Structures are given as C-alpha cells and as structure tokens.
Amino acid sequence: MDPERAAADRVISSVAVIGAGTLGAQIAAMCAASGRDVRLFDIVPGASDNALGRLRSLLEPVIARGALDWDLDAVLARIVPAATLGAAVARADLVIEAIREHLPAKREIFSTISVMNATALLATNSSSIPSSALADVVVDPTRLVNLHFFSEFWDRAAVELMGCGATSDETMRKMADFGRSLGLFTAVVRGESKGFIINRVWRAVKREALAVVDGGHADPEDVDRLWALFWGIGYGPFGMMDQVGLDVVADIEDSYIAVSSDPTDHPSPALHALVDAGKLGEKSGEGFYRYPDPAYRTPGWPRAGSPSETPPL
C-alpha cells in the first residue's frame, strides 16, 4: 500500500489538542476517555498543566453525581502537556484546534501545523469560522473540517461536523466515526451553514424573542415562562442569553446581522441597552434577570410566583 493511502486508512489513536482553555481542556478529556493518547499544547506556558487541574475540579463532581462513569486518574494520565506545538502535533493522527476565536491566529496555526504533520486530519472547534476560511493555508484541505464541540459535554453530548468545501468523503466518514467514538451524537452539516445547525436555530429563537420584547409585545420573563411551559424545560431564551453573557450574545448577533440579507435584521435595542449599562447577565449580577437568584430558578417557576404586570389593553 502506498504511504498516502496507509496514512488515509490510519485509525485515530493519537490526538493533539491546541489551546488548553475551556473547550480545549474538555476536548482533551473526551479524547483521553475514549482511550486515545492526547498531547495538549497552549501558547501560554503552564496553561496545559493548569488545564489538568481545572479538569479534575470540574469533572470530580460530575463523576460523583453519576453523569460520567470515568476513572478520572486514568483519563488525566493520558493527557500529556506538550512544551512546543511541534512536539504536540508530530505524531498525531488528528489535530483539533481550540485556540481563541481570531481568524488570523487560526490561519497561522493551521499553516504551521499542516507543514509540521503532513498526514494528520485537521479540525477546528471554532464557533463561527467556517473551515473554508482556513482551507487555503493548509497543505491538503481534503483532510480539514469543522468539528464543533459543546461545553459541558456530559450534559450536551453532541458535536457538529462540517467540511471546508474540499474535504474528502473519506475524511468526513472518519471524523463522523471519531465523533461517535467519543460517545457524542455527531450531526453532519451538509454544505456550509453559518452557525452550523444548533447555533443557527438558536439565533432564530434569540432574534424573534428579542423582537417580541423590542416591539413591546411582552416582557422577557413572560416570553421565558411561555417557552418553559411549552417545551417543558427550566428556563427560556432570555435566561439562556443571561447565562451565555449578553456582551457575547450581542457580538454573535452582530456577526449574523453583518451578513444578513434581511432588512428587518438589526441590533436589538433591549439587548444593547443592557450591554451599554454593563448588565451582562449572570456574570455581572444582572441582565434580563437579577442574580444570584433569578426568577427562573425559584421553585415552581414558571407557573408560580408573581406573573409580570398585566399591561393595559
């Protein structure tokens, strides 16, 4: 068998994760838990070692409540901090990039990695950058994909897979198998979709929820009460936006609006008024709700408690 074909057929047994932040650490843990050897690299010295400590405190309670059936020591032992990018990617079958959301930085990383390891599969965990924006800097874009994981994978056991336009069927099949091997529902995006699948659907929910409030038709809490009762879940879109962070939500909304062809798609006054006032949601103590005890976390909500004031007819 020729070496290229042998490389294409290689099983993914060794993974390099680049970026040891919130998502990089969790991706490394999932890969290690699936029995793979993981090399973790971060540009900040010591960040990969810190990530191992963070993972321990994050995952111990999750394992204690039975949400994961892991031997944590064995999982963490399979994650090896790498001193250099080269050491991380040299023998990897798959490189997963999870550095900050900055296109020039990601392009630089991918151009470097694809020369350092000419046969590895390459994936970006970016939330908003399509892999097509990285395809021209890699040696072989047939091996390049978006692989979009979710934070707190034990509760959100899914990943979205999207090609770069030049990705081979073989790579898509291998990456879909890889996602499933992590125990994740692996959703394959056909073609290119801004926001992949769930973030695009979530964007439509946010936009309409904000439009209802901006139009004066309902208060945020009443939208959330209806949503929660209708779908049988514990909070609605405004509670969710507060948890994400309203500054982050506003940035994401702006990125959709910038490429929207819909003339009614414009920044939400209600959202921007809160951001301008420094009310960024849960992290700042106030957003659409007040924290640490927002209405949606009181027992019996959304049915009980004081409903929003009835507006004059």
Query: Interface residues with ligand NAD (CB under 6 A)?
Result: 18-24, 42-44, 47, 98-101, 105, 109, 125-127, 148-149, 151
Nearest to 43 by CA among 103, 12, 88, 5: 88
Which residue blocks in the chain are alpha helix, DSSP H? 3-9, 22-33, 47-64, 72-77, 85-89, 103-116, 169-181, 198-214, 220-231, 237-244, 246-258, 269-276
Cis peptide preceding 292, ω within 30 of 0: yes
CB of 113 closer than 8 Å to CB of 17: no
- Compute the distance between CA of residue 72 and CA of residue 1 in angstroms, rounded to an integer: 39
* H or E segment and range at residue 5: helix 3-9
Nearer to ligand NAD, 57 or 151 (CB): 151
Nearest to 13 by CA among 91, 129, 101: 91
Least spacing, CB of residue 164 vs ligand NAD, in Å: 15
For 17, 60, 136, 265, 290, the CA distances from 20, given in Å and listed in that order, are 8, 19, 25, 36, 32
User: Chain centroid to CA 138: how far?
Assistant: 23
Tokens standing for residue 214: 């901006």
CB of 69 closer than 8 Å to CB of 30: no
Q: Three-state SS across 150-185?
A: CCCCCCCCEEEEEECCCCCHHHHHHHHHHHHHCCCE
- Terminal-to-terminal C-alpha distance of the chain: 77
Least spacing, CB of residue 30 vs ligand NAD, in Å: 13
Coil, strand or helix: which one is 286? strand
- Which single residue brings its beta carbon nearest to ligand NAD? 21
Nearer to ligand NAD, 147 or 213 (CB): 147
